[in-house]
Amino acid sequence: MAEKILIVEDEQTLLETLAYNLRKQSYEVITSSDGHSAIKAARQHHPDLIILDIMLPGLDGFEVCRILRQEMTTPVLMLTARDDEIDRIVGLEVGADDYLTKPFSMRELLARVKALLRRIRLIREEMGGPTSKDTHQIYTFDNLIVDTARREIRLNEQVVPLKPKEYELLLYFSQHRGQVLTRDLILERVWGWEYIGDSRTVDVHIRWLREKLEVDPANPKRFITVRGAGYRFEG
């Protein structure tokens, strides 16, 4: 089955060029030219990847990314015309998976698209095969339950709302309980091969998970810091 890519870009010529080249690579392409219709299209078509321009009529790319991040973990490749936007793009506020600065070559874009989609396949494989979306897998750690079918975390039988990246990070830990995981490895597996952020991103997310899931976040029993190495999930 072809992977589905949503392209959001209001410059018609660029939109058509992108769509043409991605279709030539056998991807299924959906297009959108403004922020509101982009959100609608993402909800309706559940793309495997979103290519999102920042300067858009209506909602801009930042707002679109923020809204979609609450609802889905689809990787987002942002397009920007300005270098000074990069910190915001990869920062925690917006949390895009990758970005390209205009002008970019089609070869570069295709390489990024491939890398992001490969990461998603890898995550699905680790979760138990390409059809894992439909596989009901439950990890139980005492009073903590990670339910992959519902994408839901329950602590003492109460659902704990997690942001998409917090969920993915916890899932990755759940699959590697007891192993020491370096920040670089975590960044690679949870944020993607091409992610340009620094390892503090991992630390901040661990802090949030501790605040939500530890009895005493200052004295963690689940998410253990391994000095000079990284983190270990004790369950």
Residue 63 engages Ca ion in binding (rule: CB under 5 A): no
Kindly tell me which of 56 and 169 has the beta carbon lying closer to Ca ion.
56
Out of 48, 53, 97, 168, the only residue in the binding site for Ca ion (CB under 5 A) is: 53
CB of 195 to Ca ion, least distance (A): 23
Q: Are 183 and 191 in contact (CB under 8 A)?
A: no
Query: Which amino acid is residue 212, in one-letter code?
Result: K
Rg (CA), the chain: 18
Q: Is 10 in the site for Ca ion (CB under 5 A)?
A: yes
Task: Pick between residue 64 and residue 187 the one whose CB is nearest to Ca ion.
Answer: 64
Rounded to whole angstroms, how far apart are CA atoms 78 and 65?
Answer: 9
80 and 99 Cβ atoms separated by less than 8 Å:
yes
Part in contact with Ca ion (CB under 5 A); list of ranges 3-11, 83-91, 139-147, 170-178 = 3-11
Backbone conformation region of residue 34, classed left if phi is above 0, alpha if psi is from -120 to 50, else beta: beta
The stretch near Ca ion (CB under 5 A) out of 39-47, 52-60, 84-92, 224-232 is 52-60
92 exposure class (CB count in 10 Å sphere: 0-12, 13-18, 19+): middle
Interface residue with Ca ion, options 30, 55, 86, 115 (CB under 5 A): 55
- Return the residue nearest Ca ion (CB atom): 55
